[in-house]
Amino acid sequence: MTPHEALKQYWGFENFRPMQLKIIQSVLEQKDTLALLPTGGGKSICFQVPAMCLSGICIVVSPLISLMKDQVNTLSNNGINAYAIYSGMKKSTIDRILDNCIHGKIDFLYLSPERLTSNLAIERIKQMNVALIAVDEAHCISQWGYDFRPSYLNIAKIRQVLPQTSIIALTATATSPVVKDIQEKLLFGKGSNVFQKSFLRHNLSYVVLREENKQAKMLDILQKVRGSAIVYVQNRKETKDIAMVLNRNGISANYYHAGLKGELREEVQNNWVQNKIRVIVATNAFGMGIDKPDVRAVVHLTLPDSLEAYFQEAGRCGRDGNKAYAVLLFNQTDRVRLEKYFSQAYPSIKEIRRVYQALGSYYQLAVGSGLWQTFDFDIVDFSKTFNLNALETLFVLKVLMKEEYIELSENLFLPSTLQIIIRKEELYDYLLRNSKMDKLLKVILRSYQGAFSQPVKIREGQLARFLNISQKKLEALLFKLHKDGILRYDPQKDAPQLTFLTERLPHEEIKIDQTRYDFLKERHQKRMNKTLDYAETIKCRSQMLLDYFDDKDSDICGICDVCLGRHENYVNNDEYENIKKKVETLLKSSPMELRVLVDSFSPNIKEKVLETVQHLMDNNILICGEDNCLNWSGE
C-alpha cells in the first residue's frame, strides 16, 4: 500500500498537508525522523500512515492516557487494529493484549514510557515484529523542555532490543536545545532527518490586554468575535463559574475539566465539536487530540507558566486558515499567582518523604510490596486523612512522578467488564443449583460473545432494562456471581489512578537527584520569566513567540495588539512598581484625595498612575475612606 492509498482508504483524505508526505517518506526509508509540527499540523498522520504501509506493528509511546484512548478509538473506527496499555488495567488484560501483538494482526500498540520499559513489556516486545517506534510529545525527553519526564529517558533502552527498527519523534513545541536533546537521547542514527514547519501563523492575531475586570472583557470579545471559542481558566471551579456567566449573557457554553466523569467529558466535547454549544470553558486538560478547524477565538483568563503551553493552547484556533484571535487577559495578579505557584512547585525532601509515607499507609502497603499495583486515587480524601494541604500535596506527587516512584493518571474512564471463569460443564451444574441466575447468565452468553475467553465490556443499565429489573438489582446479582467464583465482574471506574512504579520503600530511602532538581527549578523560573515578558513587553506578539522558538528573523505580524497600537498608556512591570512605591510613601505620610495623589506625579504619566491606582484599589491595597481620601492598607 502506498501512503496515498493508505490515506484515502483509512482516513478518507485525497492529499497530505504540507510537509506530511516528506516526513512519511523519511520514515519509509527507515531513517530516524524528528517532526516538529505546530498544534493542528497533523502529527499523528506522520506515523500512522507509514505504519500502515509497513509490515509489522507500530509501538507508540505517549504520556497521556486520554490521548492514547482517543487515538485508539479513532483508529478502531477507521478499521485499524489498535490497543493501548495504561494504568488501571488488570495484569491478565495486559498479558492478553501483548500476546495478541505477538500472534495476532495488531497494527498499533500504545504504551506509556513507564510501561514500555517494564521487564514484562520488553520480553514480549522481543517476540513482536516491530516495524516502527513512534514517540509522541517527544519534548518530554529533554530537561530543557517545559514538561520533562525522566521516564522518557528510558525509551532508548528499547532501541537495544530493536536495533534495526527506526524511530519517529513528534512534538508541537521545541526550542533548539530541546531539538538537539531529543535526537541525542533517542540515539538517532546517521542520516536521520529533522523536519520543522514554521511556527508562523499568518491568520492568527495574538492579543494581550491588561484588564482588571477580565469577565467583562471576555464577554465583550465573544460578543464581537462570532463563532466557536475556547476559554481557558485556572481551575475546575472556574470552568463551571465562567460557563454560567456566559450562559446568563446569552452565549451558549459548557465546561470541561479532568474531574468530570468520562462519559460526560466526551458528551461536552462532542457537543462543542458539532457546534451544539458555542464556547467550551476548560482547564489545560482540554485540547489534546482535538482537531476542530473553525475555532475563531481562544481566550486565556489566566497566564500559563510557559510559552510552550500558551502557544499550544492559543494555536487551537484558526486551523482552517481564516482570521482568528488568541487573546490573553492579563493583570498584575497573574504575576503574583505565577510567582507563588513557582515557590510551591519544588517542595523539600522532608515533605516529599512525608507524603510518600502517607501513600503507603493510605493503601496499607507493606515495605517491599506494591510494585505495579494500581489504585483509585482521591487527592481530597487522601489530604484530609493525613492532614495535608491538597495543593502542596499535588506538587509533591508531581515530583514523585518525575523521580519515577509513582505514576498518577488523569481521571480515567474504565468501562465495566465481566468474564466467565469456569468451564461450561461447571456453569451448567451451577445453574441447576441456582435457577434464579439462569435468565441472567443466558442473556450474558447470548449478548456478549467471547465472555468465556476474555473480559467483555458491559453496560449495566442496558442489561438491566433488557431483563426488566433495576440496575441496583442487576449489580447485586453480578456481585453474587463474582463472589461465587462463576465470573469476574469489574464495575466501571471513573477516577484518577495511582500506580506504584517501585516496591514501597522506607520513606527515608526516598532520594531526589538534587542536581537535576535544581536545574529543573532554574529552567522553570526562566520559562516563567519569558512568559511574563511576553505579557508585559510592548513588542510584536508574533515576533516574540517566534523568537522564543528560535525563528530570529521574522517580520512584524501587523495584526497583533502591539502592531495595531493599542498600548499608548500601558504600564509595564517596572513602571508599575515605581508608581506603587511612590504611592505607598505618599499615603503612609498622609491620606489624600485621588486628584491630589495623581497631581503628585508628572503630567505625562497621568494615565499610567490612574491605571496603577485602580489596580491597587481592586486588590484592596488602597482603601477609599468616607472622606474620599485614599488610605494605604498594604493587604
- Concatenating the DSSP letter of every residue in 359-394 gives HHHHTTPPTT--TT-EEE--HHHHHHHTT--HHHHH
> Hunting for cell 487530540 — which residue is that?
289
Domain boundary among 179, 196, 213: 196
| Same domain, yes or no: 237 and 372 | no
Q: Which three cell numbers stand for residue 305?
A: 507558566
End-to-end CA distance of the chain: 68
Task: Report d(CA 383, CA 358) in Å as an integer.
Answer: 9
Q: Which helix (H) or strand (E) is 631 found in, with range? A: strand 629-632
Among residues 319, 211, 391, 267, the alpha carbon closest in space to that of 255 is found at: 267
Inter-residue contact 42 to 74 (CB < 8 Å)? no
Task: Report d(CA 423, CA 452) in Å as an integer.
Answer: 8
Residue 561 lies in a domain: no
Residue 335 lies in a domain: no
Q: Which three cell numbers stand for residue 282?
A: 476548560
Domain boundary among 196, 223, 239: 196
| Same domain, yes or no: 294 and 440 | no
Domain boundary among 169, 196, 223: 196
Among residues 106, 100, 144, the alpha carbon closest in space to that of 124 is found at: 100
Low-confidence ranges of the chain (pLDDT < 70): 88, 289, 410-414, 494, 567-570, 635
Q: How many residues does the chain have?
A: 635
Q: What is the pLDDT of residue 412?
A: 55
Residue 528 lies in a domain: no
Q: What is the pLDDT of residue 128?
A: 94
| Same domain, yes or no: 290 and 353 | no
Task: Report d(CA 68, CA 109) in Å as an integer.
Answer: 10
Task: Give the domain range for residue 237.
Answer: 204-330+537-548
| Same domain, yes or no: 369 and 516 | yes
| Same domain, yes or no: 68 and 149 | yes
> Hunting for cell 473480559 — which residue is that?
455
| Same domain, yes or no: 500 and 356 | yes
Task: Report d(CA 457, CA 282) in Å as an integer.
Answer: 30
Q: Residue 445 corresponds to which amino acid?
A: L
Instruction: Give the pairing type, strands 417-420 and 456-457.
Output: antiparallel
Count of structural domains within the chain:
5
Residue 604 lies in a domain: yes
Residue 126 lies in a domain: yes
Q: Which three cell numbers stand for residue 525?
A: 523560573
Q: Which helix (H) or strand (E) is 495 found in, with range? A: strand 493-495
The phi-psi region of residue 468 (left if phi > 0; otherwise alpha if psi is between -120 and 50; otherwise beta) is: left
Using DSSP's 3-state secondary structure scheme, residue 292 falls into coil
Task: Report d(CA 28, CA 23) in Å as an integer.
Answer: 9
| Same domain, yes or no: 30 and 81 | yes
Among residues 415, 85, 416, the alpha carbon closest in space to that of 262 is found at: 415
| Same domain, yes or no: 441 and 400 | no
Inter-residue contact 260 to 268 (CB < 8 Å)? yes
Inter-residue contact 277 to 231 (CB < 8 Å)? no
What's the mean per-residue pLDDT of the chain?
89
Tens digit of pLDDT for each residue in 542-568?
Answer: 999 999 988 888 889 999 988 887 765
Residue 66 lies in a domain: yes
| Same domain, yes or no: 502 and 473 | no
| Same domain, yes or no: 209 and 312 | yes
Residue 559 lies in a domain: no
| Same domain, yes or no: 289 and 365 | no
Beta bridge partner(s), residue 393: none
Q: What is the pLDDT of residue 134?
A: 97
| Same domain, yes or no: 409 and 423 | no
